[in-house]
Structure 1
Amino acid sequence: MIAPRHFGRGPDAQALERAGQEFHAFAAVLDETLAGRTWLVGDRLSYADFRVASVLPFAAEARLPLDGYRHIEDWHARLMDLDAWRSPFEGLD
């Protein structure tokens, strides 16, 4: 786990509150968009899936509140089925 870094006086509670509100607003849109879909655009995996989901491998560490966004969780689980998504740096020793 990466230790948190604080620059200055620490986190701004109001900024964190606004960011949380924005997160939930956009997560709700994404969750609704994924309802009834396997992938984000059309019926097959695309660059859009990887681009939009690029934050998901760090969701736990960033404490993103994804609980309750079932379609996002299901979509990420489908991405995790891909070896290249699950282990993108494998073999690059």
Structure 2
Amino acid sequence: KTGSNVKQDTLEKESSEGIHKAVYFLLSWVLEQSMPTIRAFWSNLSKDYNVDSYPRLQNLLANLQSSQDAPKPIITNHSKKRRHKDRGANSQQSQYQ
């Protein structure tokens, strides 16, 4: 969809289903785009005139920034399953030995 189609679809969604559905629709579309488009969207959204016009946006952006700055948890895979090809001759043995 082109930008004008997305705008029109978003406005129609807002009038028929409400602002929450319209915003969800718009964000879903943005997330399907290329990384440069996503970055451009957030860059434009976080411009001073948008943040000044929408006080809740300032809170959202601040929370997003603080979550990006927070240390990331280390996620380890605790799965004991082995791939089929790794089982070899030991396929009859328990995978938890």
The answer to whether TM tops 0.5 is no
Q: Which has the larger Rg?
A: 2
> TM-score, normalized by length of structure 2?
0.30
The structure with the largest helix share of the pair is 2
> TM-score, normalized by length of structure 1?
0.31
